[in-house]
Amino acid sequence: MPSEIVNKYFRTNKLPQIWCPGCGHGIITRAITVAIDKLGLDRDKICIVSGIGCSSRAPGYMDFDTLHTTHGRALAFATGIKMANPELKVIVITGDGDATAIGGNHLIHACRRNIDITTIIYNNNIYGMTGGQYSPTTPKFDKGTTVPYGNVDKAFDIPALAIAAGATYVGRSTAYHTQLLISLIENGIKNEGFSLIEAISVCPTYYGRKNKKGSAVEMLEWQKEHAVNIAAASKMTPESLDGKFLIGEFKNSPEPEYTREYQKIIDRLKKE
Amino acid sequence: MKSKARLMQGNEACVEGAIAAGMRFFAGYPITPSTEIAEFSAEKLPLVGGRFIQMEDEIASMAAIIGASLAGVKSMTATSGPGFSLKQENIGYAALAEVPCVIVDVQRSGPSTGLPTSPAQGDIMQARWGTHGDHPIIALTPSSVRETFDLTIKAFNLSEKYRVPVILLMDEIIGHMRERVELPDISEIEIINRKKPAVSREEYLPYKADDDLIPPMACYGEGYRFHVTGLAHDETGFPTNNPAVADKLYRRIVDKIEFHKDEIVEWEEQNTDDADIIIISVGGVARAADTAMKQLREKGIKVGTYRPITVWPFPDKRLVELADRVKAFVVAEMNLGQMVLEVERIIKDKAKLIKVNKVNGEAIYPEEIMEKIEEVL
Amino acid sequence: MNINETVTDKLVVNENWCKGCGICVKFCPKNVLKIENEKVKIVDIDKCIQCGLCELRCPDYAIYVRGK
Ligand SMILES: Cc1ncc(C[n+]2csc(CCOP(=O)(O)OP(=O)(O)O)c2C)c(N)n1
Ligand code: SF4
Ligand code: SF4
Ligand code: SF4
Ligand SMILES: [Mg+2]
């Protein structure tokens, strides 16, 4: 018998997942179900949508209404679902490539509309599924199969991108900082509007190996040692923040939600 | 209550038809000559409790209507050549995942940006083979404003019945033409809705087809908690690499249209009984063909017309019959010869084949068809 | 599938699902676990404080705290 949470929210006959040993995607996926459980949501009114990638395979294991779409387009499919039935809680699971490369345009527009969708980006800094090509979040000078001499592209800062584009709830955590991740996802789902949570994952198979980052365990340890919560960071000196990255809640400022605003038009027209 | 006759544009008739058919969601991105369809939808949908959204591009629009349809709402998008190209990957998704939806393509000449405001029929083959892989598709081609209304309803009905994306393949002539039309009363219109599962969640197999090869369709939010993917899948809806299962799936989705072809195909023919020559055309060109036929008949030349209403699947059976007894077919189309390839395939060398093609952004005039016919006589 | 489960009062380990990544072993504060033949093994269940960190980070849901 699997644990209560897994038994309740996973399609246990599909487990274990296709992911490699130590892949961070499994940690994040469980975290999402814990957040859903904590919120006590009606699971039959939740729809989980993904694109294409290792990360986007997650919904197939989750016992909800699930939709595995085309590469990069999860947010556009999700927008249609939410518009068709605003009662549904729509959650999007996507990868760094899926969300910020091929799906980058959909991402900024979903942020801008503030449509009630909670998006979790499984960021492993690489295209995992296709075998380790660099992505828009591969750090500069790192390696991938298509940057054999080191990456010259500058990486996206996903939360900064989402905030600039208008998302109303934005946070970042890591596979290691699982409790924080759960609470960010919980708050993201609670926010009636567009929420974006960057979940820094680990891909030991490609990103790890290509960049000599060691095993999954070592990669998680790196997360532990280099992440600083934004709340603590304000009290730290710039020197002590050198080489670190921020995690935590970056933005939480609700604004009118898209489908509700549209509903107001429908209601007004009905009266006229 | 009988609705009164009113002057209407083809693009408007399309939206009227869609709403009559039950469309309650439209996602689109503006592009001439289809833009009025988005504009009318934006205006009319909230009045009936529906929703409109202008997405960031055509890829997103196509994705959004698939999502909305899976959530149980009849959905449509509209575009022209360049946008139709962008939609193709997701049209293939709808074909494989068997999601009902309607895609309007008001064609322009191309490739690329081409002649945005001029009539053309450049997408006849794109409508059939635009997305990759073997897939089912239905495409309808109206040739009047009233028929645009009727065929939009038919497009929704077919897509709901067969769980297939249906393309309403219009051209600028029909999209922008204004005609006085009297729309039928809603109560007189036959509306078909997708069949729903009659079993519980535990027993539901989302891709287990009935004898008609069509699986009943649950929608999101109803408690079925089912999975939909663009990967090859088995009856449970989950991915498979099993060659036999994948083979069965691909064949079924193609066969479900093939097996029902006789119910689906529609065409119109005039004066074919005694015709020596038959003009084959669709959409705006069919109107020129009509005039050409009448004028040639006055001169004593026995001309008939054959107008596929479903251009895909192509109404081939009747054409085979006609090929046995006519001397020549004239295929007139606003492209360099697309539909003619299908006609050629069907009639083989049983009759002579004459092509009338135009891609300069002007409509094909009756005189051009007449000249061609008189030339070969 | 035959289920290879180790059930103790405090922990349950599903060896079929375990991929031997060692994450639970590393981050267990009480050194309760180890990897043997590429699978997780309980070495000293008495030391387990049921903090749940192994369960929280196991990517394959192969270990969890019981009765808590
Ligand atoms: C249109 C299209 N282009 C390319 C691909 C190939 N492809 C599949 S997954 C993928 C990258 C996925 O990377 P990411 O989103 O970061 O997910 P990960 O596998 O790393 O979790 C690519 C390029 C595709 N499936 N479709
Ligand atoms: S390739 Fe990387 S991202 Fe994909 S399953 Fe393996 S470890 Fe995870
Ligand atoms: S519950 Fe805590 S103490 Fe017990 S094995 Fe797991 S991580 Fe170690
Ligand atoms: S974390 Fe899970 S998969 Fe990895 S070794 Fe421990 S039990 Fe096995
Ligand atoms: Mg990735």
Per-residue pLDDT of chain B (377 residues; tens, 9 = 90+): 455 799 999 999 999 999 999 999 999 999 999 999 999 999 999 999 999 999 999 999 999 999 999 999 999 999 999 999 999 999 999 999 999 999 999 998 889 999 988 999 999 999 999 999 999 999 999 999 999 999 999 999 999 999 999 999 999 999 999 999 999 999 999 999 999 999 999 999 999 999 999 999 999 999 999 999 999 999 999 999 999 999 999 999 999 999 999 999 999 999 999 999 999 999 999 999 999 999 999 999 999 999 999 999 999 999 999 999 999 999 999 999 999 999 999 999 999 999 999 999 999 999 999 999 999 88
Neighboring chain C residues of A2 at a CB cutoff of 8 Å = 14, 17, 61, 64
Picking from B60, C57, B317, the residue whose alpha carbon sits closest to that of residue A22 is C57
Q: Residue B201: count other Cβ atoms within 10 Å of its Cβ.
A: 13
Which chain A residues touch B62 with a CB distance below 8 Å?
76
Structure tokens at A35: 């957040």
Residue of A nearest to C21 (CA): A22
Of B91, B84, B27, the residue nearest A109 (C-alpha): B27
Q: What tens digit of pLDDT does each residue of A236-254 get?
A: 999 999 999 999 999 999 9
The atom number, within ligand 1, closest to the CA of A94 reads 15
Nearest CA to ligand 3 atom 8: C28
Our answer on whether A and B touch (3+ beta-carbon pairs < 8 Å) is yes
**CATH number for the domain formed by residue range(s) B6-185:** 3.40.50.970
- Same CATH fold assignment for domains B6-185 and B268-376: yes
User: Domain residues of chain C, as ranges?
Assistant: 5-65
Neighbours of ion ligand 5 (CB under 5 A): A 95-96, 124, 128
ipTM summary value: 0.98
Among the atoms of ligand 2, which is closest to the Cα of residue A24? 8
- Residue B277, classed as helix, strand or coil, is strand
One-letter amino acid of C18 = C
Rounded Cα gap, residues B111 and A208, in angstroms = 44
- pLDDT at B1 (0 to 100): 46
**CATH fold of B268-376:** Rossmann fold (3.40.50)
pLDDT tens-digit readout, A111-124 = 999 999 999 999 99
Domain ranges of chain B: 6-185, 268-376
In a mutagenesis test of the C interface, which of A19, A30, A215 is the best target, namely the one with the most C β-carbons within 10 Å?
A: A30
User: What is the maximal distance between C-alpha atoms in chain B?
Assistant: 70
pTM above 0.80, yes or no: yes
| CATH code assigned at A57 | 3.40.50.970
Proportion of chain B in helix, strand, coil states, percent, rounded to 5: 40, 20, 40
**Could you give the CA distance from residue B176 to residue B269 in angstroms, rounded to a whole number?**
25
How far is A228 from chain B, CA to nearest CA, in Å? 36
For B63-80, letters b (16+ CB in 10 Å) and e give bbbbbbbbbbbbbbbbbb
Residue whose token pair is 């996507």: A94
Residues of C in contact with A220 (CB under 8 A): 23, 26-27, 57
CB-based pocket (< 6 A), ligand 4 = C 18-24, 40, 58, 60, 62-63
Pick from A79, A98, A107, A260 the residue to mutate for testing the B interface (most B CBs within 10 Å): A79
Closest by Cα among B27, B340, B46, C39 to A269? B46
Ligand nearest to the CA of A202: 2
Class of domain C5-65 as given by CATH? alpha beta
Number of domains in chain A: 1
Q: How far is it, in rounded angstroms, from Cα C1 to Cα B27?
A: 46
For residue B179, with 0-12 CB atoms within 10 Å meaning exposed, 13-18 middle and 19 or more buried, which class applies? middle
| DSSP helix, strand, coil percent of chain A (3-state; round to 5) | 45, 20, 35
DSSP class per residue in C4-65: -EEE-SSEEEETTT-----HHHHH-TT--EEEETTEEEES-GGG-----HHHHH-TT--EEE
**Can you tell me which atom of ligand 3 is nearest the CA of C55?**
6
**Ligand 3 binding pocket mutation candidate from C7, C50, C58 (most atoms within 8 A of CB):** C50
- Angle at Cα A251 formed by Cα A247 and Cα A255, nearest 5°? 155
pLDDT, residue C68, reads 66
Q: CB distance from A88 to chain B under 8 Å?
A: yes
Query: Residue A256 is part of which domain span?
Result: 4-271
